[in-house]
Amino acid sequence: MRKTWLRDYIIKRLFYAVIITWGILTITFILVRVGPTSPADKYLANLAARGENPAQVTAAIEARYGLDKPIYEQYANYLGNLVRGDWGWSFSTSMPVIELVKTHWIYSFQLILFSTILAALVGILIGIYSAVRQYSKTDYIATFFSFIGISIPNFWLGVMLILLFSVKLGLFKTYYDTGIPLFSLANLKQLILPVLTLAIGMMAGYTRYTRSAMLDNLGKDFVRTARAKGLPERVVIGKHVFRNAVLPLVTIIMFDLGSIVFGGAYLTEIVFGIPGLGRISFNAIFADDYAVVVVVTVISAFLILLINLATDIAYAYLDPRIRYD
Amino acid sequence: MTKGIKKLARVVGGMKNLVFILLAVLWGLTLLLRLFEPLGYLYLALGIVFLIYVVWPLYNSRRLVGYYWQRVKRNRLAVLGLAFILFLILLAVFGPIFTPDPTAANFEQKNLPPVGFTTSESIYNPQTAQFNTRLVNGTREHPLGTDNKGRDLLAMIISGARVSLQVGLLATGIAVALGTLIGVVSAYLGGKMDNILMRLTDIVMTFPFFLLLVFIVFIFGPSLAFIVLIIGLTGWTGVARLIRSEALSLRTREFVLASKALGASDGRIILAHLVPNVISLIIVIATLSIPGVIMAEAALSFIGLGDPAVTSWGMVLRAGQQSLDTSWWVAVAPGAMLFFTVLAFNFVGDGLRDAFDPRSNI
């Protein structure tokens, strides 16, 4: 019974995922099309400045990008190309967009990975402690600092960390050095400030979520029963309360990845000059390089979709109480 | 006189509608006066919605408002936050009268530190071909100092307060109004409509909020009114979900069934019964959404996608990062203001939520 339901549920979610992917692609296509400038304009300006015949150049560009075809054909090509992995040509860096993404994704990935691990570890531990000792001095301090953490704009925090540790104290470089190999201690050292910048806001969020998820369960009857039968407090908290709090927590952490972490990483990369996907999108914006901006936006939306899908399915699989009908 | 008003009210279908029409006319007149200011339209639309759905219900239940105010007052941080927000509003409205033009450059007064601070500056002397170091003191003329173009930092901060508050209040207004409407309609109508609206919500939600903003502003170009509109049009998804789940439980309550039995139309049930009953939730969500909106605008200007015509905190911070080694105060001040503003709204939102429903965890 449950097995068939689970299978149907997964099929339904996959079906939704396809619809959402289509929605993402369609919305980006419409936005680019409706926009006041054409992707070819900047290119055109460059070539026309070199004294080429504008009409000829326009025709050539339109043919090159398929802009002379009817709109539905352009739409079909756009969908087809993105799905097939033909993501277009980045003229500001003179390479295919897919190559650009392949060489730069790792920088974003390491930043997000380290920040998430740090934030989850510290945030969850503080949250548990805070909930167990509710209304204690530590709880008040933790709550107050988590307020500060969620309120501090991470790009300002990054600038302040640079000001304090790089400019005034000279402990770190003021920018990210790509000459340093990725898997080295020096790279870890130069990631300290960016990771802190991104992690502090997330940490504060996780502290709050953990605290409230723990408190939701702490007052339940099964906790009283566990205590009554003489289980040590460590087991009660770790096994009975935390296990029940962890599922909603994971959902929120995964959800955060989309709304807060991707945007936060984008800004952190810009502040520290880390050449990740955010930074290449940022550079592309000021070079009017449409293909790159579109691809970075679509990729991040698609990643979030996958993460959400995986979380939902795992959630339904792990928690026998869940039924979404 | 009163008879005339009552008669008029009956003609337009109730006192509420009469007030609504009068206000609309009034707003229309002011609108004519400032036709060329793009944000005028937004103020108009939101002002009307705000009066009908927030001010009017609150006025009608003064006793309840007093009760909640007593509860909010117990939260000291919330009161502190509220005081800061009021101070910020006063600063934004009256500050520009007392400060110089935030865009006026004056290179003779560049890089002045704030009052009470002293920095050293290297000046190239063409006659001796040497760098001379001299000490620079902050002056009372520029209490917060100046940037590398000699613009007054205090004036820039005040201009930024104006921008942030405008964006925060207007964009949140749009997002919350849209989210409430979509959430309530989705919950009330159910079935196919619910499915379509929720899939739309899923699609918009799948985009990382900030990246979507960057994408749209990149394509359509930055202007303050447009940024406000776009934040409003993309930020409604969370509101819609929360309101929908709340409205789902309201939909089957007796008073809704009763008014349905009495023959009320769908529109009337939604506007007269469902929306007023989620108003406390709306107020809390709106207050807690403002920080995110203000931060999004500041982040946009920080990366250079803000309206270049107005001085905002993000823009000043961007300039400040580029001159960290010569004038640190330019980066510190706007970010600190942004931080305190966001903190204040979070405190107030938290206080309101606890006052309305201590058990909820939005």
Across the range A275-299, mean pLDDT stands at 87
Largest CA distance in chain B: 94
Nearest CA in chain B to A298: B207
Judge contact between B282 and B243, C-beta under 8 A. yes
Higher pLDDT, A313 or A107: A107
Higher pLDDT, A67 or A25: A25
Across the range A21-41, mean pLDDT stands at 80
Q: Tell me, what CATH number does B237's domain have?
A: 1.10.3720.10
Domains of chain B: total: 1
pTM: 0.85
Comparing C-alpha atoms, which of B283, B244, B248 is closest to residue B64?
A: B283
B85: domain range? 74-103+151-356
| Cβ contacts of A35 on chain B, cutoff 8 Å | 219-220
Weakest-pLDDT range from B134-138, B232-236, B290-294, B305-309: B134-138
Q: Please indicate whether, in this complex, the C-beta atoms of A301 and B206 are within 8 angstroms of each other.
A: yes
Q: Which residues of A257-276 are buried (b: 16+ CB within 10 A; e: fewer)?
A: bbbbbbbbbbbbbbbbebbb
Comparing C-alpha atoms, which of A187, A196, A193, A197 is closest to residue A165?
A: A193
Across the range A82-99, mean pLDDT stands at 82
In the block, residue with structure tokens 């990246």? B211
Backbone angles phi and psi of B121, in degrees to 5:
-130, 140
Q: Is residue B189 part of a domain?
A: yes
Q: Is residue B69 part of a domain?
A: no
pLDDT value for A19: 87
pLDDT value for B82: 92
B360 — pLDDT class (breaks 50, 70, 90):
low
**What does the angle CA A36 – CA A38 – CA A42 come to, to the nearest 5 degrees?**
115
pLDDT value for A230: 87
pLDDT value for B36: 43
Distance between CA atoms of residues B100 and B97, nearest Å: 8
Q: Is residue B256 part of a domain?
A: yes
- For residue A145, give the DSSP letter: H
Higher pLDDT, B339 or B250: B339
Say if residue B63 is exposed, middle or buried (CB neighbours under 10 Å; 0-12, 13-18, 19+).
exposed
Distance between CA atoms of residues B355 and B66, nearest Å: 12
Which among B291, B304, B331 has CB closest to A163? B331
In the block, residue with structure tokens 């309120």? A151
Q: Is residue B294 part of a domain?
A: yes
Whether the per-residue pLDDT at B237 is higher than 80: the answer is yes
Judge contact between B72 and B352, C-beta under 8 A. yes
Backbone angles phi and psi of B55, in degrees to 5:
-65, -45
pLDDT tens figures, B49-89: 777 777 777 777 788 888 888 888 888 889 999 999 999 98
Higher pLDDT, B104 or B302: B302
The ipTM (two decimal places) reads 0.86
Across the range A264-274, mean pLDDT stands at 91
pLDDT value for A33: 80
Whether the per-residue pLDDT at B340 is higher than 90: the answer is yes
Expressed in percent and rounded to 5, the helix, strand and coil fractions of chain B are: 75, 5, 20
Whether the per-residue pLDDT at B93 is higher than 60: the answer is yes
Which among A32, A147, A163 has CB closest to B346? A147
Comparing C-alpha atoms, which of A157, A115, A125, A154 is closest to residue A264?
A: A154
pLDDT value for B135: 72
Which of A42, A147, A151, A166 has the highest number of chain B CBs within 10 A, making it the mutation to test binding with B? A151
Comparing C-alpha atoms, which of A94, A96, A85 is closest to residue A43?
A: A94
Q: Is residue B306 part of a domain?
A: yes
Higher pLDDT, A138 or A253: A138
Judge contact between B254 and B337, C-beta under 8 A. no
Neighbours of B150 (CB within 10 A): 16
pLDDT tens figures, B16-54: 777 877 787 777 666 655 544 556 666 667 777 777 777
Q: Return the SS3 of A133.
A: coil
Which among A271, A282, A305 has CB closest to B206? A305
Distance between CA atoms of residues B11 and A235, nearest Å: 70
pLDDT tens figures, B263-280: 888 888 888 888 878 888
Q: Return the SS3 of B181.
A: helix
pLDDT value for A125: 92
Whether the per-residue pLDDT at B141 is higher than 70: the answer is yes
Distance between CA atoms of residues B74 and B58, nearest Å: 20
Tell me the range of A66-70, A154-158, B11-15, B220-224 where mean pLDDT is highest: A154-158
Torsion angle defined by CA atoms of residues B161, B164, B169 and B173, in that order, rounded to the nearest 10 degrees: 170
Give residues 33 to 62 of A whose Cβ lies within 8 Å of B. Answer: 34-37
pLDDT value for A156: 93
pLDDT value for A122: 94
Q: Is B209 within 8 Å of chain A by CB?
A: yes
Whether the per-residue pLDDT at B350 is higher than 50: the answer is yes
Q: Return the SS3 of A264.
A: helix
Across the range A233-254, mean pLDDT stands at 83
Q: Is residue B264 part of a domain?
A: yes
pLDDT tens figures, A194-205: 999 999 999 999
Q: Is residue B305 part of a domain?
A: yes
Write out the DSSP string of A292-323.
HHHHHHHHHHHHHHHHHHHHHHHHHHH-TT--
**What does the angle CA B271 – CA B275 – CA B276 come to, to the nearest 5 degrees?**
105
pLDDT value for A258: 67
Q: Is A17 within 8 Å of chain B by CB?
A: no
Higher pLDDT, B308 or B106: B308
Tell which phi-psi region holds residue B133, choosing left (phi > 0), alpha (psi between -120 and 50) or beta. Answer: beta
Write out the DSSP string of A49-76.
HTT--HHHHHHHHHHHHTTTS-HHHHHH
pLDDT value for B61: 77
pLDDT value for B313: 93
Q: Please indicate whether, in this complex, the C-beta atoms of B339 and A16 are within 8 angstroms of each other.
A: no
| Cβ contacts of A271 on chain B, cutoff 8 Å | 321
Q: Is A282 within 8 Å of chain B by CB?
A: yes
pLDDT tens figures, A201-225: 999 999 988 998 888 888 888 888 9
pLDDT value for B301: 93
pLDDT tens figures, B150-197: 788 888 999 899 889 888 988 998 899 899 989 988 988 888 888 889
**What distances in angstroms separate CA A34 from CA A26, A298, B77, one per listed residue?**
12, 17, 46
Token pair belonging to A17: 């995922």
**What distances in angstroms separate CA B311 from CA A288, B220, B267, one per listed residue?**
24, 20, 43
Give the gap in angstroms from C-alpha A34 to the nearest C-alpha of chain B.
9
Q: Please indicate whether, in this complex, the C-beta atoms of A162 and B209 are within 8 angstroms of each other.
A: no
pLDDT value for A149: 92
Q: Is residue B351 part of a domain?
A: yes
